[in-house]
């Protein structure tokens, strides 16, 4: 009924089948419900807009503050605005780029962007945004874990809590009015 060639094939198939089943039983037995799950959080940036009292964008090309010396102080280092950043390519990897000018963000507005910052839930950020006239604004972002895969975020500017930025809205967009 079985010739030697068929017997060899059956032996190889049986060996492979037993090996695969053994690997699956070892691999699947290591899964436990109480293990810590590692979660990857997207990095984030802070978008900053500077307007006058009438709401006009002053950092857009042709605006009175376009090309001026803005800076962000973070972890003891000053990051002056880069008005001509390298464009991002198709592959978007998280990269800290400091303070850069974006002539047309996703909403079509000219903004300054600071980051990208690690979005892990246990990071706290303290920084100062300095306007060309020397006016400084403190920015604080506090992120605390609430459970395995969530966090509470509190954003303050000059000591005042900004309520619209929380764990449901992690995208931080701040507007400062120039004097």
Kindly tell me if the per-residue pLDDT of 31 is higher than 60: no
What global pTM score does this model have?
0.70
Kindly tell me if the per-residue pLDDT of 88 is higher than 70: no
Domain ranges of the chain: 1-30, 44-177
β-pairing, 99-102 vs 160-161, is unpaired
Kindly tell me if the per-residue pLDDT of 73 is higher than 70: yes
Band of residue 5 on the pLDDT scale cut at 50, 70, 90: confident
What pLDDT does 160 receive? Answer: 93
Q: Name the token pair of 14.
A: 């049986």
| Residue-wise pLDDT tens digits, 152-175 | 778 899 999 988 766 556 678 899
Report the chain's mean pLDDT, rounded to a whole number: 81
Tell me if 83 sits within 8 A of 101, measured CB to CB.
Answer: yes
| Section 93-98 average pLDDT | 80
Among 39-43, 70-74, 97-101, 172-176, the minimum mean pLDDT is found in 39-43
User: Who wins on pLDDT, 41 or 172?
Assistant: 172
């Amino acid at each position: 009924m079985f010739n030697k060639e068929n017997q060899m094939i059956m032996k190889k198939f049986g060996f492979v089948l037993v090996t695969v089943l053994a690997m699956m039983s070892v691999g699947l037995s290591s899964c436990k419900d109480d293990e810590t799950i590692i979660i990857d959080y997207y990095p984030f940036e802070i978008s900053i807009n500077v307007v006058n009292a009438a709401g006009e964008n002053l950092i857009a090309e042709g605006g009175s503050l376009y090309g001026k010396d803005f800076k962000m102080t973070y972890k003891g280092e000053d990051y002056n605005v880069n008005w001509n950043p390298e464009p991002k390519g198709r592959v978007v990897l998280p990269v800290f780029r400091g303070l850069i000018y974006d002539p047309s963000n996703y909403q079509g507005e000219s903004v300054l962007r600071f980051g990208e910052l690690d979005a892990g839930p246990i990071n706290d950020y303290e920084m100062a945004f300095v306007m060309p006239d020397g006016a400084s604004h403190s920015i604080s972002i506090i992120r605390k874990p609430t459970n395995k895969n969530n966090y509470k975020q509190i954003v303050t500017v000059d000591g005042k809590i900004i309520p619209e930025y929380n764990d449901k809205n992690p995208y931080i967009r701040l507007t400062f009015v120039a004097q």
